Amino acid sequence: MFYPMLALFWRFFAVLVILLAMGTFSSFISSITTTVSTLRTAREEQFKNHSFLVRFFNERNLSTELYGKVNDMLKKQGAYDIRVKEADVDLLVGVPERLKVYLHEEMYLDRLMTLSIWRYWKHDDDELFFRQVCHLAMVEHIATPGQDAFMPGTECTQVYIIENGSMGYIARQLTSFESEHVFAGEVFCLPCIWAEWNHRGRLTANTGKICYYNGVDAATFANLVKKHGSPLWQYLQIFGILLIGEVEHMDGEDIWVTDKGLADSKMDDIAARAQRFADIVNARHAHKGSFMATLGAIAHTSHSRSESKSATDVSWPVEL
């Protein structure tokens, strides 16, 4: 009696093992099929995009040499591991706005404070302003090897701050292979906050590595400053007059000013002078005439060495 029961047990066990094996094998086959389908779909999409690229060049009789360069660049871009951008995270859309404010503050504040504007400006009551700039005026950019951040002669609407990595900057010449390597913390196109600015060189990721950099929208920044009001508004107005005046003086003396801006010593001097003038203005804030006279004196000092109409044409109108 014992042996028949044992045989029955082993029969049930064998049937159970077979059923589990069939289920596991079926799941394995299903996963392989799904993976192959996904790869096929991705391959078809890639082939479709490649066909459009070939068609684009053929219909315009463009050279095969240029096609080869473009194709090689696209292949290189696909080979780099790029960090996720905020816009790519759909779940962040549902995050409350108040949390996004703090998110952007942690993302951008350190880079914002690298601007030479703030070297001598120490006001604790501007914390809300800096938070608003991070939230509303700053964006993140990514440059894969070979990509250009900007080209010479194009209109500039942002101040650029390199966050991580390195890039190459070429002043004036588009065909020159000699570029100056710039690294994290470098600031470009600061004058565009106060005046119209066209790029004076080319900034490109030509170091073979991915570069991450932030942008500060000039128009949004100016509007936030105007809403924030004095004394910060007055200080930045004076800073802009001094900075643009110095740039125009150097242009008038045929001293080439690049997008990188002025030397650190000059920026320190401009920031210190702007702070001193701002202190005078704030001390006499009750008298409108004193503020206008001070600005007039600053403008006269800054432009005594050169004559240009755009130096006083800053972004913020002088209104009180």
141-166: pLDDT as tens digits: 999 888 899 999 999 999 999 999 89
Which pLDDT score is estimated for 119?
A: 87
CB neighbour class for 159 (10 Å; exposed up to 12, middle 13-18, buried from 19): buried
Which pLDDT score is estimated for 319?
A: 36
Which pLDDT score is estimated for 243?
A: 96
Percent of the chain clearing pLDDT 90 (strictly above): 41
Which pLDDT score is estimated for 314?
A: 45
Which pLDDT score is estimated for 287?
A: 53
Contacts of 104 (CB under 8 A, 6+ apart): 134, 135, 138
pLDDT per residue rounded down to tens, the chain (320 residues): 556 666 676 777 777 878 787 777 777 777 787 777 776 776 777 677 778 778 787 877 878 888 787 777 766 655 556 778 888 888 788 889 999 999 999 999 999 999 999 988 877 789 999 999 999 999 999 998 888 999 999 999 999 999 998 999 998 754 555 788 999 999 999 999 999 999 999 999 887 788 999 999 999 999 999 999 878 998 999 999 999 999 999 989 988 889 998 999 999 999 999 999 888 887 776 455 444 455 555 555 544 444 443 433 444 543 32
**Measured between alpha carbons, how far is 292 from 261 in angstroms, rounded to an integer?**
28
203: enclosing H helix or E strand: strand 201-204
**Measured between alpha carbons, how far is 167 from 207 in angstroms, rounded to an integer?**
6
Where residue 214 falls (left for φ over 0; alpha for ψ -120 to 50; beta otherwise) is beta
b/e sequence 28-38, b meaning 16+ C-beta within 10 Å: eeeeeeeeeee
Whether the Cβ atoms of residue 188 and residue 160 lie closer than 8 Å to each other: yes
Strand-pair partners of 203: 150, 169
pTM over 0.85: no
Which pLDDT score is estimated for 267?
A: 94
